[in-house]
Amino acid sequence: MGLKILHFADLHLGVETYGRPDPATGQSSRFADFLAALDRLVDFALANSVDLVLFCGDAYKTREPGQTQQREFARRINRLAASGVPVFLLIGNHDLHNAAGRATSTEIFDTLAVKNVYVASKPAVYRIPTKSGVIQVVSLPWLRRSALLSREGAKDLSLEQVKERMQQALTEAISSRGSELEPALPAVLAAHVWVAGAQPGTERTMTIGQEHALLLSNVALPVLDYVALGHIHRHQVLNEKPPVVYAGSLERLDFGDEDDDKGFYVVEVGPGTAGGRRVSYEFHSSSARRFLSIEAPLSPNDADPTASVLKAIEAQAGDIKDAIVRLHITLPVELAGQLREGDIRQALKEAHYASVTRDIRQVARARLGELSAGAMTPREALKTYLEKMSVPPERARVLLEYGEKLIQGQTE
C-alpha cells in the first residue's frame, strides 16, 4: 500500500482585489472565492482517502490576518484533522513577522495542541503517522532575515552578502536534516523558497522582504522521494527524480494569473523495484475564478466606436459570465466623447467584476515636444516615464496595471 499526499500552497486568504461586498456577510466576494477553492480541496482529500495534506506556506495575504479569516481557515483545517487526516502547515514569508518573538498566524494550532495538525516554523524532521504508515517530512520554512542579521559580524554585510549567507544557511539546513532520515521510510521536503530556474507568477507583485534563491541541486537530494514547494504562484515541475514541484496558488490573484491553471498536486509514494520507492504525481484543478482581458482598439475613422467595442465584447461572450473582466479600449482623442458607457456596461453585466479602461491617444503639440504632460492621459504619462527610466518590460507591465487601477478609482 502506498501513501497518498495532497500538496498545495499559497492560499493568501484576504486578497480582495476585483471583489464586491457580499450583502449577507459583509465580506468581499473574493474572500468567498478563496474559501470555496479551499472547500473543494478539503472535499477532494476526504473523498479520495488522502493520507496527508501538505501545505507549503502563505495561508494569508498579510502577516496579521483578521479574525474572520483565521476562523474560516481553522474550520477547514479542523475538518481534515477531525476526520483523521494529518495536516502539515509550513510557515511562509507572508505568515512570518520580521521581528523575532512575534507569533505567526498558524502557531495557534501548536499552542492548542490540535490533534493531527503539525506547524513547522523551523527546519526539522517530522515523522508523521498516517493510516497508510509513517512518513518523514523535512521542513524548510521561510528564513527570517532578521535572525541572520542578529548574529555577530552580520550587521555590516551588503545585501548581496546577506543573500549569500541566507542561501548557505538554507542549504546547510536541508543537508543536515537529510542526514537524519531513515532510509526505510518515505521522505519528502516541504519548503517555502525560491528555487533557481522556476518561472515566476504573481508572487513578484506580493514580495515581502529581500529575495533569496536556492539551486535545484540544493533541494533535489537523492534521499528524498518528493520535494513539495511553495512561494512561486505558477504550478510547475522543476525536476523528475526526485520530483521537485511547485503547487502554485490555489486561486487566481490578479491578471498576471489569467492564463495559469490553479489547483493542487496529488502525490502517491509506494513500493518500487529493487527495494526503492515508486513516486507518481498529478495536478488537479481547483476551478479558480476566471480572469479575462478584452482588447478593443479603435481607429480614427470608426463611424460607431461603441458598436466596435460591443463587437469585441461579443467575441468573448462565452467566457464573460462570472469572470473577472478587464476591458481595455484604445482610441484616438477625437472619439473619446462618442462612447456610450451605459451600453458597454450593460454588455458586461454577467461578469462577476468588470473594469473598463480607456487609453486615449492624442498627438502632442509640437511646440511643447513629445513629453508634454498636458497633452497626455495619466496612463500615457506613466508609460512614457517608465520607458524613459528604462524599467524592464515585465515590471513596467505590472506597474501599468496597478496604475490603471488607481486612475480608474480616481475617475470613479
CA distances from 198 to 80, 215, 238, 244, 273 (A): 31, 10, 7, 10, 31
User: Does residue 8 register a pLDDT over 90?
Assistant: yes
Residue 277 has pLDDT above 70, yes or no: yes
**Percent of the chain residues topping a pLDDT of 70:** 90
For the segment 94-113, the average pLDDT, to the nearest whole number, is: 81
CB atoms near residue 377 (< 10 Å): 16
Which domains, from first to last, does the chain contain? Answer: 3-285 (3.60.21.10), 291-411 (no CATH)
Measure the CA–CA gap between 78 and 116, rounded to whole angstroms: 9
Share of the chain above pLDDT 90, in %: 67
pLDDT band at 367 (very low <50, low <70, confident <90, very high): very low
Whole-number pLDDT of residue 327 = 97
Which pLDDT score, from 0 to 100, does residue 100 have? 65
**Strand blocks (E) in 45-175:** 52-55, 87-90, 117-120, 124-130, 133-140
Q: What is the pTM of this model?
A: 0.83
Residue 157 has pLDDT above 80, yes or no: no
SS3 41: helix
pLDDT of residue 383: 86
| Residue 237, pLDDT above cutoff 50 | yes
What pLDDT, on the 0 to 100 scale, is given for residue 123?
95
- Rounded CA-CA distance 297/35 in Å is 37
Q: What is the pLDDT of residues 325-355, one digit of tens each?
A: 999 999 999 898 899 999 999 999 999 999 9
For residue 23, the model assigns a pLDDT of: 87
Average pLDDT, the chain: 89
Q: What is the pLDDT of residue 365?
A: 46
What 3-state class would DSSP assign to 283?
strand
Confidence of residue 407 (pLDDT cuts 50, 70, 90): confident
Residue 148 — very low, low, confident or very high, per pLDDT cuts 50/70/90? low
